[in-house]
A and B are shown apart, each in its own frame.
Chain A
Amino acid sequence: MTTAQAPAGAGLAGLDPAALRPDFAILSRTVRDGRPLVYLDSGATSQRPRQVLDAERDFLEQHNSAVHRGAHQLAEEATDAYESARARIATFVGADPDELVFVKNATEGINLVAYAMSNSSIRTGLGPESERFALGPGDEIVVTELEHHANLVPWQELCRRTGATLRWYSVTDEGRIDLDSLELSERTKVVAFAHQSNVLGSVAPVEELVARARAVGALVVLDACQSVPHLPVDLRALDVDFAVFSGHKMLGPSGVGVLYGRTELLAAMPPFLTGGSMIELVRLEGSTYAPPPQRFEAGVPMTSQAVGLGAAVDYLTAIGMQNVHAHEMELTRVALDTLREVPGVRIIGPDSLEARGGTVAFVVDGVHAHDVGQVLDDRGIAVRVGHHCAWPLHRRFGVAATVRASFHVYTTVDEVAQLADGVRAARDFFGVS
């Protein structure tokens, strides 16, 4: 197997995006009549370096085979590559390999937990050990007003199926979870929240929320989709029960994500999808299930994608997540400082660098987000416009849509500075300046 090459722009002195950019071929293309691409939409999906693409290609050209099946050489190599990726990703987030389940994406990971709870609630769990996941009328699931739909709708549906009640923490004007807005109770069974908001960029007070959940015996589900790709994250230290993240947001492939669950919880949790690979013993009358993580990986899983995610984690590790975070904070500082100077711009989210990540959302008075996005696109600048799958949050701020810029290791200060110029141009174009 080829060993991953360390990226050139990594070092103790921090991160040099210019040195990393050659790894990302897509960044040198042009868009819309020959303008250099300025990709400020990494929060939606990030770009993949050559090292990730090479790892996927190498796997497919040299080792491709169905994992955890067959005894031929390729099957062994493929299984090793798949499990090695799991182990490296586990190290990256401070977990044991058996605590990581490969899923399609974060959305599937959250649904897996919700459906396992659903199964426990109708008593099709493994046995008495699954009772702790059972919900019924009177029980509560708690989320926050800033959640991505992926961490909201599955819980709404779980409530519908079990008769439990959904409650939520509201969000302050500054874009923080308002801890005074809700009291957990003995009936609170799940507290699910985003580590970092995909719109506001605000980072949740995990320690405090975990402490409150622990005090009432609730399970904590952390949506780490926007934190694991951008900050050093140690899931064990955060003491959460479950966490999810997606490969495509962390320089890895799409089609692979991760569900983390504490060992004893995964061991007690019934499966969601069933079929091949996840069984222990099958008879026509009924079956028993494999221990985790296999219990939750029914069917032939994604393999080159998992291997690619392993390579992405190697790439990020070589750069150092502290460096990634520091770089993104510098970009955020530039974004906030330059946007603040543009008349009519209102930042939605914290206008400071405190407990914050590299996602900046804003509205422009008199110009709809779609129209701002169109003007930016015309200049080659790719941002996200709309509600970013956080509709209740947008309603909370009284806006239908925002413009969102988000960054990653390859984003440069110069690119971020172009954003404010583009917003000025949008104001000119629509005659509001």
Chain B
Amino acid sequence: MQLEQMYQEIILDHYRSPHGSGLKDPYDAESQQINPTCGDEIVLRVKLDDAGEKVLDVSHETLGCSISQASASVLTDLVVGQTVEESMKVLAAFQEMAQGRGKVEPDEDVLGDAVAFAGVAKYPARVKCALLGWMAFKDAVVRVQDGKVEA
């Protein structure tokens, strides 16, 4: 059974009771991402501080599989309270692990609970599920920053 490698207990826990689930107000920007191969969908909102440097809040509504839901949940835990810069480092590390075909040794100091997704990297078809929330987060942050530049 390789299933447990992919669906580690941490993932199943987050799936059963996802953090940050349910869209919240106020927020600075929202991003919708769709996985075109399966139709899964996430809408994610971010709220940054006035300087645009710190992540104050993340909320999301995810219509998708256990991997995409758990990933969005873990993301919420990892980035809320961090600086935008730090959160982007976590994102980069997560993306590297997820796309590493199981050959990237994840750094637990950076990724925390998200190391549980290392097993998913061995299943190329599921990588997009794991990344869906992270792509929404990145897009939303860029939107806030673009908005601030324009303002």
Contacts and interface: CB of A to CB of B under 8 A. Distances in A.
Partners in one complex: yes
A430 B39 contact: no
B2 A370 contact: no
B67 A394 contact: no
Interface string B59-89: 0000111110000000000000000000000
Contact of B7 (A32, A33, A385, A429): A429
A400 interface: yes
B67 A400 contact: no
Nearest to A430: B66
B7 A400 contact: no
Contacts of A33: 1-2
A391 interface: yes
Contacts of B67: 370-371
Given A374-B123, A400-B63, A430-B66, A369 B3 contact: no
A378 B64 contact: no
B38 interface: yes
Contacts of B39: 386-387, 391, 394, 400-401
B38 A400 contact: yes
A375 interface: yes
Which of under 10, 10 to 19, 20 to 34, or 35 or more describes the interface residues of B? 20 to 34
Contact of B65 (A370, A378, A431): A370
B121 interface: no
Nearest to A378: B3
A370 B127 CA distance: 12
Kindly name the residue among B12, B66, B129 whose own CB sees the greatest number of chain A CB atoms within 10 A. Answer: B66
Interface SS of B by simple majority: mixed
A368 interface: yes
A371 B2 contact: no
Contacts of A391: 39
Given A368-B64, A368-B66, A400-B64, A374 B38 contact: no
A370 B41 CA distance: 13
Contact of A375 (B3, B37, B41, B63): B3
A401 B39 CA distance: 7
Which of under 10, 10 to 19, 20 to 34, or 35 or more describes the interface residues of A? 10 to 19
Interface string A76-117: 000000000000000000000000000000000000000000
Contact of A374 (B3, B12, B40, B64): B3
A431 B9 CA distance: 12
A201 B10 CA distance: 38
A70 B38 CA distance: 48
B2 A378 contact: yes
B93 interface: no
Given A33-B2, A430-B12, A430-B66, 14 more contacts: A33-B1, A370-B67, A371-B66, A371-B67, A374-B3, A374-B123, A374-B126, A378-B3, A385-B38, A386-B37, A387-B39, A400-B41, A400-B63, A429-B3
Interface of B: 1-3, 6-7, 12, 16, 37-41, 63-67, 123, 126, 129
30 contacts: A368-B64, A369-B38, A369-B65, A370-B40, A370-B66, A370-B129, A371-B65, A374-B6, A374-B123, A374-B126, A378-B1, A378-B2, A378-B3, A385-B38, A386-B37, A386-B38, A386-B39, A394-B39, A400-B38, A400-B39, A400-B40, A400-B41, A400-B63, A400-B64, A401-B40, A429-B3, A429-B7, A430-B66, A431-B12, A431-B16
What 7 A-B pairs are tightest by C-beta distance, nearest first? A370-B65, A368-B65, A386-B38, A400-B39, A387-B39, A378-B3, A401-B38
